[in-house]
A and B are shown apart, each in its own frame.
Chain A
Amino acid sequence: MTDEISKYKEEIYSCTRCGTCKYIYHVYDDSCPSGKKFRFETFYPSGKLHIARGLLEGKLEWSERIRDILFSCPLCGNCETQCQCRQHDVLVDIYEALRADAVSHGVGPLPSQKVFAEAIEKEHNPYKEDHTNRLNWKEGIESEVPQKEAAEILYFVGCTSSYRQKDLAQATVKILNKTGVDYTVSEDEWCCGSPIMRTGQLDSVEDVVKHNLDLIKKIGAKKVVTSCAGCYRTMKVDFPKYAEQLEGVEILHITEFLQQMIEAGKLELPKKLENVIVTYHDPCHLGRHSGVYDAPRAIIQAIPGVTLIEMSRVRENAWCCGAGGGVKSGFKDWSVEISAERIKEAEETGCTILLSACPFCKTNLQDAIKAANSKIQLMDIVDLLNKLI
């Protein structure tokens, strides 16, 4: 039984294992975190396709080894950029299909990832936190946080900012307040479903998608703004796979929204700063998966006195932070190893601040900074703007 991967048979059989996916096209730096770490051909993108082929042909049985190979991949999608063959744009879809099949065969996900599905079903977040505490991040700024029945814009906070990176939720609210737009947050927000989609645990996916779409409809929002790259990718790319898209509703990442506000003159930038050198880490879910590269950079470059120095691997070639695809929970140390490589790359720019635009990236990059005792300061773009304005 290989129900999900059967849909990709043609693409799976396309791969000759030429190796182009292993490194950045025409630059030849590493692109694949799990391949670089584990080195066997099986851990590279082409290896996963050939495992799929082995399963389709009945030459392989589902096994723990397959589980480990599949779930050690952070689903960063860098291989999709580097592969020059016709299967390139569905590689991550194939990995996710493999994971879904692994789950349906009882070999996946990893035990620590199983928790996501149980917690999301019960508490509507993957962290096993009480759903009724979803808006606890408001503490100290309650009066600044709008909770309306109807609004033009829904600020979709996301689970990580609601329960783990609360300062990002607070900073986002403060910035949104400065723009004067009509927006609200909702205590009825559920997990977007990203953790279960990425780990192949699809049983509750339709429920969470439906619930969140109903919420948007109920509020009457014309825009959904989120400060989480994972929620953004999921709502923009994955929701349409599971439900009819809401007509006239625009999904925006906070950086896209703030760029619009700056350009419209609705958000005044701070006066000139002392010279500050920053670099920017492209979150995979925002960049490669959703194509948003320019908005964060436009904001950074609009701040007077800030110089953006790019790392060697950026935009579609960016090295992953290592947190995605369930790797942070499934392979804790290895996840931070990936991140440590990114911190080193950031340090090479000579920056004092490493910026990103995803709370999950922030968590993992911060762990690597701590592990490496790095002097670099890590901030979300929203945090920086909030501090400056």
Chain B
Amino acid sequence: MLQQTEDHDQISEKLGKIVGKEFISNHPEELLIYSYDMTEHPPNNPDYVVMPKNVEEIQEILKLANKNKIPVVPFVTGSNIGGLTIPLKGGLIVDLKRMDRILHVNTEDMYMVIEPGVTFGHVYKCFKNDYPHFRYCYPFAPPFASVMANALLGGLNNLSLKYGCMSEVINGIEAVLPNGEVVKIGTCMCWDDQWWGRVPMPDLLGLFTSWQGMTGIVTKIALQIWPRKPIRDYKFIVSNDLVATYKLVKKLATADIMNDILLTSIETIKMVLGVPLGQAVHLEGEPRWATILDFSANTQKEYEAKADIIENLFKELKSVDPKAAYSSIDNAVKLFGEKFDAFQKMPMTIGGMLEYGGLTWVGTYMTSNPDTVVKGVHTAFELIEKYNFEKCLYTRMMKGGHYYAFRFLLRFSKEKDGETERMRQLNQELFESLFELGAFPYKTPAEFTDKILARCDKNWAKLLKTVKTAIDPNMIMNPGRWGFK
């Protein structure tokens, strides 16, 4: 809650002077709506919601908050599925959606500089209309997730197989520190108009990635873009043998020919197709797993060579899993209809996942070791079954097979009595079991961090505290996370 060094009226007046009266609210309606998200994480009201338009306004907000030791939580759309914008200690929600400009697209060094409010939908539109020969990448998320938030939080995307999580494609940032100072990281620290990289200077980007807004508010970010290859195709595989399917996925990943490989349970596809809540279950006789392969080529010859490799590896799968089937994505779209099309078309729309009020996950990055992956699936499925939810596995090979995105997306109804609490218990158990296997939750919810801090290297935790205290001595930035009260 807001510390009483200045009373609410004074704070309100000062915030109003900074952003304009129409862009500050402490009405119960805004406080309620910004107190929770789609997950099971417990709600908590902010004291104010403010909507700055520029860096200068953010500087003034942070100076005021720092002086008065008021908690500050950056927010764009709140769709992170980690409860990360729930203001655990109240204070100010700084809603950044008014800062929504794509400031610059550099096609020579291949990056774009954007503000926090830019969404994947807006990036898609910009590239489609103005830079058709270039592309960005898209996550398994609604099109209106913030591109910057997803990158800073290490989200994944449909080029993760090539480049890793999204924080790995950040060229630089501009951020406002809790004391109101503006800092630039990357080449932009020397030249305002150059955002081509973070090497070879000491790299301070790690002070802002996966810190969940605990070190400042990032106001600009430069993200890599890539040439769009003229030929692009998708293949769709259904199978029954997880070990053999994963073997195919790993071989394709290390063959360095793919853009993206998704391995999901059949329940995931059913949810995407709009099967009602509670009914997305595997039925006898149905395939158990679905794999989507995304690849592209500069020439027809290159395309055919890649398609040949895929087909040959599929034959290996088929030899141990005779019911496995392989099809073009067009046929899959014909078979499954427009919802499947919306799912595979980037940026994707996942209506079926998002229409029961609640959506959550335990989303982790882990080793790509096959034994661990298979064990993780079985462990998680047992737990999900115990709590009677749907087994929505959604995995993605990362960075050529260097690590694995391993996630269970869980729909639930917030209307049904007790279901939110049941989901909370499941997620806690899921986290604990997967963490024991070596899976690390990304966009880490506050409920999981105590366990992580208890297990981690003590000097890591000490360094974390030293850095946080140095940058944010008054602990105003998104408090209540990673052990910072």
Contacts and interface: CB of A to CB of B under 8 A. Distances in A.
A14 B33 contact: no
Interface residues of A, number: 37
B77 interface: yes
Interface stretch (A57-65, A138-146, A148-156, A368-376): A57-65
Interface in B343-357: 345, 349, 351, 354-357
A65 B27 contact: yes
Nearest to B123: A28
Contact of B38 (A18, A29, A84, A87): A18
A50 B33 contact: yes
A18 B122 CA distance: 15
Given A17-B37, A84-B351, A59 B95 contact: no
Nearest to B117: A39
B52 to A, nearest CB: 11
B38 A17 contact: yes
Interface stretch (A40-48, A181-189, A255-263, A346-354): A40-48
Interface in B161-217: none
B29 A60 contact: yes
Interface residues of B, number: 43
Nearest to B77: A19
Contacts of A22: 144
B468 interface: no
Given A17-B78, A18-B144, A84-B342, A39 B29 contact: no
B356 A28 contact: no
Given A18-B354, A40-B33, A51-B33, 19 more contacts: A13-B357, A13-B415, A14-B356, A15-B357, A16-B354, A17-B38, A17-B78, A18-B38, A18-B144, A23-B144, A28-B121, A28-B125, A40-B51, A41-B95, A47-B33, A60-B32, A63-B27, A84-B349, A84-B354
Interface of B: 22-23, 25, 27-30, 32-34, 37-38, 49, 51, 77-79, 95, 97-98, 119, 121-122, 124-125, 142-145, 274, 342, 345, 349, 351, 354-359, 413-415
A38 B49 CA distance: 13
A300 to B, nearest CB: 27
B359 to A, nearest CB: 6
A120 interface: no
Given A15-B357, A18-B144, A20-B144, A39 B51 contact: yes
Contacts of B354: 16, 18, 20, 84-85
Interface string A190-220: 0000000000000000000000000000000
Contacts, number: 110
Contacts of B357: 13-16
A41 B355 contact: no
A16 B30 CA distance: 16
B143 A17 contact: no
Interface of A: 9-10, 13-20, 22-23, 25-29, 38-42, 47, 50-51, 54, 59-61, 63, 65-66, 69, 84-87
A227 to B, nearest CB: 36
Contact of A13 (B119, B342, B413): B413
Contact of B415 (A9, A23, A42, A65): A9
A14 B351 CA distance: 11
Contacts of B124: 28
B342 A27 contact: no
A39 B95 contact: yes
| Leading 7 A-B pairs by shortest Cβ distance | A19-B144, A84-B351, A85-B355, A28-B121, A13-B415, A16-B38, A18-B142
Contacts of A61: 28
A38 B122 CA distance: 19
A14 B355 contact: yes
A19 B142 contact: yes
Nearest to A59: B32
A54 B38 contact: no
B359 A16 contact: yes
Contacts of A17: 37-38, 78-79
Contacts of A51: 29, 32-33
A28 B27 contact: no
A19 B79 contact: yes
Contacts of B413: 13
Given A10-B415, A16-B359, A39 B32 contact: no
Contacts of A69: 29
A54 B30 CA distance: 11
A28 B25 contact: no
B286 to A, nearest CB: 24
A86 B145 CA distance: 20
A26 B143 CA distance: 9
Contacts of B121: 23, 28
Contact of A60 (B28, B79, B122, B342): B28
Contacts of A65: 27-29
